[in-house]
Structure 1
Amino acid sequence: MLNPTHLRTLETVCRTGSFAVAARELGYTASGVSQQMAALERACGLVLFEREAHGIRPTAAADQLVERTGRVLAVLGEFEDEVRDLAAGRVGRLRLGSFPTASVRLVPAALAALATDHPAAEILLEEGEPRELAPMLVNGELDAALLYEYGHVPQRWPEDLVMVPLLHEALLLLTRRRRPADTGEATARLPAMRTENWIASREGTDGAISLERLCAAAGFAPAITRRSNNYDVVRQLVGAGLGVAVVPALGHIPDERVHAQAVDSAPAHRRVLMAYRRANVNPLLQPALRAIRAAVPRNRPWLAPPQG
């Protein structure tokens, strides 16, 4: 393969007609230029110069090579510009994973900010639960992912993942509001709910396991009559008087039919984290982390900065 540096030197030598003049212009020694041209002749199998006692004369082959070199170097220059853009994160691709609640509350603002700051970059979104997303991070299918961890369901994340805490959210007890102006107490005590019908997420999910453990700590097993992983559906069921539920704060939208209270229990929380592979050097990774952090709600009830 021909060396682009040698081709650039050839252009200068042919233009100046001298190894010495070309060397001064390029910052090489005359010997260095001579060695480059000899290497180029060997690489392309052509005689490029007639070497005379008082100088050099480019051959017809050299002139033809220079004509073609201009096009090659122009394309190479564009390629080098693209590589610099890639290294700076101005272009490229980032594959982001997210769980559904974060996809609604955090991801849109973050992606909008990334699109503004990196308009030529491609940001792909894959949605799933943490147990689905974490292996995709380890396997290199994702560059980063938003994950969660319930206080009553601690996780052991793969060792080669960097875990960045983003948010600490309370778990909220949702009950049907009895009177429009009824606000009740700020916190909820689960033992008072032992006789209620419960609405939970799908069996075996971290949310369902968290509910079972919270109720067990309160001294009862919840009577789960309905299940849904969609918090909008859960809220509608609660508002219709079909049961009570515990949901993370990010999953709750105020509803005049629903009364929300933070569960009065220290482990009644969920941590939101952003994870990425320790060895990942994607230039878009840190801009994405900054955009996600900027999208985290500030000064909102039941939401707090990461703890510990």
Structure 2
Amino acid sequence: MKPQHLLTLRTVVRTGSFVDAARELGYTSSAVSQQISALEKDTGLVLFEREAHGIRATSAADRLVELGAPLLATLEELDQQVRRLATGATGRLRLGSFPTAGVRLVPAALSALTSAHPHAEIQLQEGEPKELVAALDAGDLDVALVYEYGLSPQQWPIGLTSHPLLREDLVLLRAPGSRHGTRLAGLSGERWITSREDTAGALSLDRLCAAAGFQASVAFRSNNYDVVRELVSTGQGVAIVPGLAHVPSTSVRASRVTQRSAFRRVLALHRRGNTNPLLRAAISALRGAVPTGQPYVHGAGDEDGTGDGTP
């Protein structure tokens, strides 16, 4: 038996007419008659008494409608769920983010996304860009927040689409009592605080200092920008951090690094062939979460961003 034939039977029994059932289902009367005949052949049952002025449902038809009700209810529920899945009302989105964006971008984006799609399942995974791109390429993530430094540009794998979200100035952090100015060349004798040796941030610092004519003497390394700021505030050295990592405070002096290419871009990546209906909503939510009116952080449409911000 075909479920569609059971649905047609239920409608004919309820309306008492092939014509009315056809009108309700969007078929022709002939098509309804053919479906009922096929159902009678499949079941070996006589479902309707054909009379001169109409039809009359048999007890077998009434019983078959009763028996088929749970199946039709399940199929109708499945149809509704598929429609909701196709429109993004339900479904699952797997988002990957590096830690700084996880603090400054992701919470607001997830709030907007879950408000618009309260029945969707959103998963979050944290990692560095290399880890996230590998997970994205393997199909373990739907969208990944990544970054690239102006002095350490990245080439993303073929098949990934990028959406620029924002541009960060690089910010020089010094202790409040520092006697040195903001020119990097004047900081050649300082101790430096930066991220791990294998990170793009550390590579960017090396290249910035090399362009200023010296090699940075790195005393401390941490990928936690809270740790970096605290070390700077207690006079343990100077540091350069991206704009999202800067938290205005009286315990640290901040100024924009003015060297060319002293910036970091944040992008959202996804596979070009990903058809997840929640993907477009996620990108929109991430764009809407970009901080506005904050020093050292500029939207993707404000690439010039030359303001020094507030120390």
Instruction: Report the TM-score when normalising by structure 2.
Output: 0.89
Q: Determine whether 1:282 maps to 2:259.
A: no
> Does the CA contact (< 8 Å) of 1:23 and 1:33 recur in 2?
yes
Q: Which residue type is aligned with residue 305 of structure 1?
A: G
Taking the aligned partners of 2:38 and 2:124, their CA distance within structure 1 comes to 49
1:144 to 1:56, Cα distance in 2 relative to 1, 3 A = same
Q: For residue 225 of structure 2, what is the aligned residue in structure 1?
A: 231
Q: Determine whether 1:203 maps to 2:197.
A: yes
Listed one character per residue, the Cα deviations across residues 16-51 of structure 1 (whole Å, up to 9, x for unaligned) are: 444345334434223211221233345x44324366
Q: Which residue type is aligned with residue 164 of structure 1?
A: H
Taking the aligned partners of 1:125 and 1:17, their CA distance within structure 2 comes to 54
Q: Which residue type is aligned with residue 63 of structure 2?
A: Q
Residue 259 of structure 1 deviates from its aligned partner by 0.9
1:251 pairs with 228, 245, 255, which one? 245
Residue 299 of structure 1 deviates from its aligned partner by 2.0
Taking the aligned partners of 1:56 and 1:276, their CA distance within structure 2 comes to 58
Q: For residue 190 of structure 1, what is the aligned residue in structure 2?
A: 184
Residue 278 of structure 1 deviates from its aligned partner by 1.2
Q: Which residue type is aligned with residue 8 of structure 1?
A: L
Q: For residue 255 of structure 2, what is the aligned residue in structure 1?
A: 261
> Does the CA contact (< 8 Å) of 1:46 and 1:61 recur in 2?
no
> Does the CA contact (< 8 Å) of 2:40 and 2:47 recur in 1?
no
Q: Which residue type is aligned with residue 47 of structure 2?
A: F
Question: After superposition, where does 1:209-220 map in structure 2 within 5 Å?
Answer: 209-220=203-214
> Does the CA contact (< 8 Å) of 2:222 and 2:228 recur in 1?
yes
Residue 217 of structure 1 deviates from its aligned partner by 1.2
1:63 to 1:295, Cα distance in 2 relative to 1, 3 A = same
Q: For residue 14 of structure 1, what is the aligned residue in structure 2?
A: 13
Gaps of 5+ in 1: none
Moved >6 Å (runs of 4+): none
Question: After superposition, where does 1:1-308 map in structure 2 within 5 Å?
Answer: 2-42=1-41, 44-49=42-47, 54=52, 58-178=57-177, 188-306=182-300, 307=303
Two-structure CA RMSD over aligned residues (Å): 2.2
> Does the CA contact (< 8 Å) of 1:200 and 1:245 recur in 2?
yes
Residue 101 of structure 1 deviates from its aligned partner by 0.2
Q: Which residue type is aligned with residue 162 of structure 1?
A: T
Listed one character per residue, the Cα deviations across residues 163-197 of structure 1 (whole Å, up to 9, x for unaligned) are: 01111101111111118xx9x97xx3211111111
Q: Which residue type is aligned with residue 33 of structure 2?
A: S
Residue 79 of structure 1 deviates from its aligned partner by 2.3
> Does the CA contact (< 8 Å) of 2:170 and 2:264 recur in 1?
yes
Taking the aligned partners of 1:72 and 1:214, their CA distance within structure 2 comes to 68
1:151 to 1:11, Cα distance in 2 relative to 1, 3 A = same
Residue 280 of structure 1 deviates from its aligned partner by 1.2
- Per the alignment, in what secondary structure is the counterpart of residue 84 of structure 2? helix
Taking the aligned partners of 1:101 and 1:25, their CA distance within structure 2 comes to 57
Taking the aligned partners of 2:66 and 2:48, their CA distance within structure 1 comes to 19
Residue 238 of structure 1 deviates from its aligned partner by 0.7
For these two proteins, the number of residue pairs brought into alignment is: 301
1:264 to 1:70, Cα distance in 2 relative to 1, 3 A = same
Taking the aligned partners of 1:229 and 1:272, their CA distance within structure 2 comes to 17
Q: Which residue type is aligned with residue 208 of structure 2?
A: L
> Does the CA contact (< 8 Å) of 1:47 and 1:59 recur in 2?
no
Listed one character per residue, the Cα deviations across residues 182-222 of structure 1 (whole Å, up to 9, x for unaligned) are: 9x97xx32111111111110111111111111111111111
Taking the aligned partners of 1:122 and 1:176, their CA distance within structure 2 comes to 44
**Percent of pairs with identical residues:** 55
Taking the aligned partners of 2:75 and 2:90, their CA distance within structure 1 comes to 17
> Does the CA contact (< 8 Å) of 2:12 and 2:21 recur in 1?
yes
- 113-122 or 194-203, which moves further after superposition? 113-122
Gaps of 5+ in 2: 305-311
> Does the CA contact (< 8 Å) of 1:153 and 1:206 recur in 2?
yes
Listed one character per residue, the Cα deviations across residues 106-149 of structure 1 (whole Å, up to 9, x for unaligned) are: 11111111222221111110000111101211221111111100
